[in-house]
């Protein structure tokens, strides 16, 4: 049996699912807005981790929304911002997410969400997406006040799971997240959601597994 931490944003749920809610406010800019919002959200997390200037993911998400609106020349009312931030707690799950998690749970693996997000917000998001359960719980970086790919964050997952590093896995569609886990001594599977996307390892590390969907993990993670 393995202890498996699943990244949430981009792996279990789709941040670009904000295109729909955004369309009512920004029209044809919706996809560009959603993509830019996500990128600046990540950029802020990386910078805050490096500078040790932590603010939780809910704050970072709101700040990235403000920045994106300014960058794209969009004016959003306070009510519109609140509506969009509420929609962020209702992001759609990827089609393979629930079935893949159910199969892995049935096979005896211990599954948790492992995310930059705030635990309370993650629980709302994952519950509405019908992923909590089969996920048994949530491990948030908020506990250590830093962000992936800080090694301290992955060591926190290792401590929470209580399994040896060789039996502790990260599953993520974000290459930088996989690199972080490998650099901290964990095992990792990269979910390559776009078949044309190359691995970005920069000579640092390689994933233990590369899969196109969560369903492929059932026969490939040791213990299955």
Under CATH, which number does the domain 3-13+92-219 receive? 3.40.50.1000
Listed in sequence order, the residues at least 6 apart from 222 whose beta carbon sits closer than 8 Å to its beta carbon are 2, 167
- Pairing between strand 168-172 and 3-6? parallel
Q: What is the pLDDT of residue 78?
A: 95
CA distances from 91 to 36, 122, 136, 209 (A): 16, 11, 20, 26
H/E stretch holding 60 reads helix 57-71
Residues 49-66 have a mean pLDDT of 97
Our measurement of the distance from residue 110's CA atom to the centroid of its chain's CA atoms, rounded to an integer in Å, reads 18
Q: What is the pLDDT of residue 142?
A: 95
Residue 27 pLDDT greater than 80, yes or no? yes
Q: What is the pLDDT of residue 223?
A: 58
The band of 224, judged by pLDDT with boundaries at 50, 70 and 90, is very low
Least confident interval from 117-121, 127-131, 138-142, 191-195 = 191-195
Q: What is the pLDDT of residue 37?
A: 98
DSSP tally for the chain: helices H, then strands E: 8, 6
- 3-state SS class at 84: helix
Q: To the nearest whole percent, how much of the chain has pLDDT over 70?
A: 99
- Pairing between strand 209-211 and 187-191? parallel
Listed in sequence order, the residues at least 6 apart from 210 whose beta carbon sits closer than 8 Å to its beta carbon are 189, 190, 192, 199
Tell me how crowded residue 185 is: count the other CB atoms within 10 A of its CB: 13
The band of 156, judged by pLDDT with boundaries at 50, 70 and 90, is very high
Listed in sequence order, the residues at least 6 apart from 4 whose beta carbon sits closer than 8 Å to its beta carbon are 104, 109, 110, 111, 112, 168, 169, 170, 171, 221
Query: Average pLDDT, whole number, for the chain?
Result: 95
Q: What is the DSSP string of 95-128?
A: TTHHHHHHHHHHTT-EEEEEESS-HHHHHHHHHH
Listed in sequence order, the residues at least 6 apart from 89 whose beta carbon sits closer than 8 Å to its beta carbon are 121, 124, 125, 128
From first CA to last CA, the distance across the chain in angstroms is: 7
> Which CATH superfamily, name and number, covers 15-90?
Putative phosphatase; domain 2 (1.10.150.240)
Judge whether 7 counts as a catalytic residue: yes
Q: What is the pLDDT of residue 219?
A: 80
The band of 195, judged by pLDDT with boundaries at 50, 70 and 90, is confident
Check if the beta carbon of residue 10 is closer than 8 Å to that of residue 34: no
Q: What is the pLDDT of residue 29?
A: 96
pTM of the predicted model as reported, rounded to 2 decimal places: 0.94
The band of 18, judged by pLDDT with boundaries at 50, 70 and 90, is very high
Spans of all domains in the chain: 3-13+92-219, 15-90
**pLDDT of 31-41, one tens digit each?**
999 999 999 99
């Amino acid at each position: 049996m393995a202890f498996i931490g699943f990244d949430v944003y981009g792996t279990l749920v789709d941040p670009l699912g904000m295109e729909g809610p955004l369309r009512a406010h920004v029209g044809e800019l919706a996809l560009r807005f959603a993509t830019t919002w996500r990128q600046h959200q990540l950029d802020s997390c990386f910078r805050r981790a490096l500078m040790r200037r932590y603010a939780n993911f809910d704050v970072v998400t709101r700040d990235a929304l403000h920045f994106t609106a300014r960058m794209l020349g969009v004016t959003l009312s306070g009510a519109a911002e609140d509506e969009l931030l509420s929609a962020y707690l209702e992001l759609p799950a990827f089609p393979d997410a629930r079935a893949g998690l159910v199969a892995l749970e049935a096979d005896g693996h211990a599954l948790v969400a492992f995310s930059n997000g705030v635990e309370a917000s993650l629980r709302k998001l994952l519950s509405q997406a019908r992923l909590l359960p089969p996920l048994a719980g949530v491990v948030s970086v908020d506990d250590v006040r830093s962000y992936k790919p800080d090694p301290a964050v992955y060591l926190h997952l290792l401590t929470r799971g209580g399994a040896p590093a060789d039996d502790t896995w990260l599953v993520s569609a974000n290459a930088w997240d996989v690199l972080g886990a490998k650099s901290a001594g964990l095992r990792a599977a990269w979910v390559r959601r776009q078949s044309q996307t190359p691995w970005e390892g920069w000579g640092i590390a390689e994933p233990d597994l590369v899969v196109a969907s969560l369903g492929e993990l059932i026969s490939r993670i040791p213990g299955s």
